[in-house]
């Protein structure tokens, strides 16, 4: 005979009580961990990205369902966010305004117990963290459709901050209307330049005569609709919700796998987690074969490169800086060997950071 509704609810109540007790016990242990950190270090680092990545990865691997592994990991992400806030309240700066995909990425990575602080430009996020006004920052670094965010790469060249983590976000763009929008009188659509480019084919097919106006961010595009009657905007879920906009059409991005990668920046080095990446800046004397010689040690040691970008070095014309991402941690023997080889060949290397691969 199947259980009655009341009996099932009684079982749920009993489990909820156990879960509540266990979660508070876990929080007590987080407090104790914070005490150990304070005893061991006069300038303790409470946020441990390598530990969080290990916890979340293990949650996903051992999950038996029926809750989906990703959903279970997101649940524990929030539990750890609350535990970390008990150890030390966190301020995380991000490329604003409120409602940007960067804020979405910051909350996905740190959970909702952090104080997220919107700033107007990428270099302002770096400065906020450098000044100690925020513990960490989150900035966009590349999009699968439009490529790299050059302002982020350029800012690293003049910053001492380290990369402590990465976040990958599937990007869905929606066509939005404001409370005063007259659908039959629309003459313009607002969005960030990259977003307009990522929706180019859809706009050509559906709004070919509507003027496309780039603004500083998708959230700013959404914000403008509050006061305008002849405009539409393209933005994501958070911006639509934040500014109370109506979805005219969902998911208008040209590429369904459109993903943006974000970097977490801070002032700490991150120990190995077991599933890491390393980002570095490499410069060398401009000569034929410079780049191929730079890449040879990686191939010889069997280390996979995940990104390679070049940017003008700004020190001399036609002199370039190479941004290289590879798998592994800078403490790994094979990668250490590669770095020694590169320096031995006369290149200058600056490790931007070794950090856990994105788990969520």
Ligand X SMILES: O=C(O)C(=O)C[C@]1(C(=O)O)C=C[C@@H](O)C=C1
Query: Which phi and psi (to 5°) does residue 266 adopt?
Result: -160, -165
Which of 56, 59, 73, 84 lies at the binding interface for ligand X (CB under 6 A)? 84
Q: Which one, 52 or 276, has the nearer CB to ligand X?
A: 52
Q: Which one, 30 or 232, has the nearer CB to ligand X?
A: 30
Say whether residue 232 binds ligand X (CB under 6 A).
no
Say whether residue 80 binds ligand X (CB under 6 A).
yes
Nearest alpha-carbon partner for 298 in 360, 349, 353, 225: 349
Which of 38, 44, 51, 113 lies at the binding interface for ligand X (CB under 6 A)? 51
Q: What is the dihedral of CA 71, 75, 76, 77, to 10 degrees?
A: 90
CB 323 within 8 A of CB 153: yes
Q: Which ranges constitute the DSSP H helices of the chain? A: 5-40, 49-62, 69-87, 101-110, 122-130, 150-157, 193-198, 200-206, 218-224, 237-242, 290-300, 333-344
Q: Which one, 48 or 174, has the nearer CB to ligand X?
A: 48
Residue 243: both structure tokens together:
């500014």
Strand, coil or helix: what is 337? helix
Q: Which one, 106 or 196, has the nearer CB to ligand X?
A: 106
Say whether residue 52 binds ligand X (CB under 6 A).
yes
Region label for 99, one of left (φ > 0), alpha (ψ between -120 and 50) or beta (otherwise): left
Say whether residue 83 binds ligand X (CB under 6 A).
yes
Number of residues that bind ligand X (CB under 6 A): 12
Say whether residue 50 binds ligand X (CB under 6 A).
no
Stretch that binds ligand X, among 42-50, 105-113, 147-155, 268-276 (CB under 6 A): 42-50
Nearest alpha-carbon partner for 144 in 216, 206, 98, 197: 197
Q: Which one, 46 or 323, has the nearer CB to ligand X?
A: 46
d(CA 128, CA 349) in angstroms, rounded, equals 25
Least distance CB 144 / ligand X (angstroms)? 28
Say whether residue 113 binds ligand X (CB under 6 A).
no
Query: Which phi and psi (to 5°) does residue 322 adopt?
Result: -105, 125
Least distance CB 79 / ligand X (angstroms)? 7
Stretch that binds ligand X, among 59-67, 77-85, 89-97, 213-221 (CB under 6 A): 77-85
Residues near ligand X (CB under 6 A): 30, 33, 46-48, 51-52, 55, 80, 83-84, 87
């Amino acid at each position: 005979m199947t259980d009655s509704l009341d009996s099932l609810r009684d079982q749920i109540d009993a489990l909820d009580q156990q879960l509540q007790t266990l979660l508070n016990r876990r929080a007590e242990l987080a407090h104790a961990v914070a005490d150990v950190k304070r005893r061991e270090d006069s300038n303790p680092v409470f946020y441990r990205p390598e530990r969080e990545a290990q916890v979340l990865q293990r949650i996903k691997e051992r999950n038996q369902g029926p809750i989906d592994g990703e959903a279970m990991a997101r649940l524990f992400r929030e539990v750890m966010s609350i535990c970390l806030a008990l150890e030390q309240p966190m301020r995380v700066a991000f490329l604003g305004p409120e409602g940007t995909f960067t804020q979405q990425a910051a909350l996905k990575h740190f959970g909702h117990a952090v104080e997220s602080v919107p700033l107007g430009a990428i270099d302002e996020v770096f400065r906020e963290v450098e000044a100690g006004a925020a513990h960490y920052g989150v900035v966009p670094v590349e999009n699968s459709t439009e490529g790299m965010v050059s302002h982020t790469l350029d800012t690293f060249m003049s910053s001492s901050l380290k990369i402590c983590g990465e976040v990958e976000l599937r990007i869905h763009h929606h066509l939005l209307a404001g409370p005063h929008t007259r659908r039959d009188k629309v003459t313009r659509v607002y969005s960030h330049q990259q977003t307009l480019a990522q929706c180019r084919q859809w706009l050509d097919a559906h709004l070919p005569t509507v003027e496309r106006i780039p603004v500083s961010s998708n959230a700013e595009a959404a914000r403008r609709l509050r006061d305008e009657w002849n405009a539409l905007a393209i933005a994501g879920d958070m911006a639509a919700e934040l500014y109370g906009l109506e979805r005219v059409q969902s998911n208008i991005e040209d590429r369904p796998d459109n993903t943006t990668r974000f970097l977490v920046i801070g002032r700490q080095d991150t120990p190995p987690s077991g599933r890491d990446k390393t980002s570095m800046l490499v410069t060398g004397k401009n000569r034929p074969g410079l780049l191929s010689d730079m890449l040879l040690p990686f191939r010889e040691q069997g280390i996979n490169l995940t990104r390679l970008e070049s940017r003008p070095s700004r020190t001399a014309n036609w002199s370039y800086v190479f941004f290289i991402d590879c798998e592994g941690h800078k403490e790994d023997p094979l990668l250490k060997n590669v770095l020694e080889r590169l320096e031995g060949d006369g290149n200058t290397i600056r490790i931007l950071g070794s950090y856990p691969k994105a788990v969520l």
